[in-house]
Amino acid sequence: MSSRRSAVPGFAIAVGVLIGGLLAAFTIGRYPVGLGDLIAVLASKAFGHRTDISPAIESVILQVRGPRVLAAVLVGAALALAGTAFQGLFRNPLVSPDILGASSGAALGAVVGIYLSFGVLAIQAVAFVGGLIAVAAVYIIGSAVRSRDPILVLVLTGVVVGSLFGAGVGLVKYLADPYNQLPAMTFWLLGSLSATTAPDLIPLFGPIAIGAIVLIALRWRMNVMSLPEEEARALGVATGPLRIAIVAAATLVTSASVAAAGIIGWVGLVVPHLSRSLVGPDFARLLPAAAILGGGYLLLIDTLARTLAQVEIPLGILTAVIGTPFFIWLLASVQKTWS
């Protein structure tokens, strides 16, 4: 009972960050929206009331910022969930969602789609499939190598496969048209939600919802998976099938996020540690807290990205600026804080 009570303030902070991110994302921008106008528009849509708010403000809230806000919440929550799952599975606080090459595979799929002049939805679909293929290749190769430490084999294989797919990205960029295709590839690889529309939310929500449900359903077993392999097996856990399920679910949400928003680094590394400091290491609390905090975190980053300068700053740049000093601090203190 005491552990549950101790997690309440942490959840309150995570929810507060999410609410603050939502308010900031809807009200701050080149076309400011008052809090009263925001509440009136949302209430009118929720309860069917008529409102005197101008159509321009309503359009900004519902059509321009609404899809982008929902996408930021979904992508932030997905990357945070994946990072939390991978850090626990690999028992390493420095692991991020792209450890098994999902981001590299999705990046290669996207640049190939841009190179072949596919439509936006087709590019996202190819990127999504590319992420799944990369992780599948990592797992097939890693399973073929017999070792007493299968987790280490997966990590090393992920590094190799990720490097190979990264080389493929470089090759496609070298072959691309430098005036049209190359700028589009570069912009996508830096990460952005600026082009998000309402139809983009459907292919984004489905995979993230499925992966999140699987991870949260396995939250109790993930506590056991954070133990050494022999101890987990001694407790009666089938580590092989469980590891596949966790990797598949985390890869699903990562690939969907990268396909929709490009490569947004550091979220899956920073947010799990912040969440762990708020609610502790128990995955029953850690996963929901990470999802909530991740959504709010990326909302705040996205709001900064579109308001700090005259030209929108790519999300990958801002998350790196914030994540790099955090990573340095983490390297210095990881032995003291990881549990």
> Tens digits of per-residue pLDDT, 291-328?
999 999 999 999 999 999 888 999 999 999 988 887 78
- The yes-or-no verdict on residue 44 having pLDDT over 70 is yes
Q: Are 298 and 264 in contact (CB under 8 A)?
A: yes
Q: Give the residue from 265, 243, 272 showing the smallest Cα distance to 84.
A: 272
According to the model, what pLDDT value does residue 283 have?
95
Burial (0-12, 13-18, 19+ Cβ within 10 Å), 166: middle
Residue for token pair 């983009």: 200
The CATH class given to the 2-337 domain equals mainly alpha
- Mean pLDDT to the nearest integer, 4-19: 88
Other C-beta atoms closer than 10 Å to the C-beta of 151 total: 18
What share of the chain in percent tops pLDDT 90?
60
Note the pLDDT tens digit of each residue in 89-101: 888 777 888 888 9
User: In which band, very low, low, confident or very high, does the pLDDT at 130 lie, cut at 50, 70 and 90?
Assistant: very high
User: In which band, very low, low, confident or very high, does the pLDDT at 2 lie, cut at 50, 70 and 90?
Assistant: very low
According to the model, what pLDDT value does residue 128 have?
92
Which tokens hold the place of 271? 């947010």
- Mean pLDDT to the nearest integer, 100-106: 91
3-state secondary structure the chain: CHHHHHHHHHHHHHHHHHHHHHHHHHHCCCCCCCHHHHHHHHHHHHHCCCCCCCHHHHHHHHHHHHHHHHHHHHHHHHHHHHHHHHHHHCCCCCCCHHHHCHHHHHHHHHHHHHHCCCCHHHHHHHHHHHHHHHHHHHHHHHHHCCCCCHHHHHHHHHHHHHHHHHHHHHHHHHHCCCCCHHHHHHHHHHCCCCCCCHHHHHHHHHHHHHHHHHHHHCHHHHHHHCCCHHHHHHCCCCHHHHHHHHHHHHHHHHHHHHHHHCCCCCHHHHHHHHHHHHHCCCHHHHHHHHHHHHHHHHHHHHHHHHHCCCCCCCHHHHHHHHHHHHHHHHHHHHHHHCC
Separation of alpha carbons 68 and 63, rounded Å? 9
* Ranges of each domain in the chain: 2-337
According to the model, what pLDDT value does residue 182 have?
94
Note the pLDDT tens digit of each residue in 153-173: 888 899 999 999 999 999 999
According to the model, what pLDDT value does residue 333 have?
67
- Mean pLDDT to the nearest integer, 212-217: 96
pLDDT, mean over the chain: 89
- Mean pLDDT to the nearest integer, 122-129: 91
Note the pLDDT tens digit of each residue in 78-91: 999 999 999 988 88
Sign of CA dihedral 276, 291, 247, 302: negative
pTM of the predicted model as reported, rounded to 2 decimal places: 0.91
- Mean pLDDT to the nearest integer, 28-41: 90
According to the model, what pLDDT value does residue 322 have?
86
Note the pLDDT tens digit of each residue in 236-278: 788 888 988 999 999 999 999 999 999 998 999 899 989 998 9
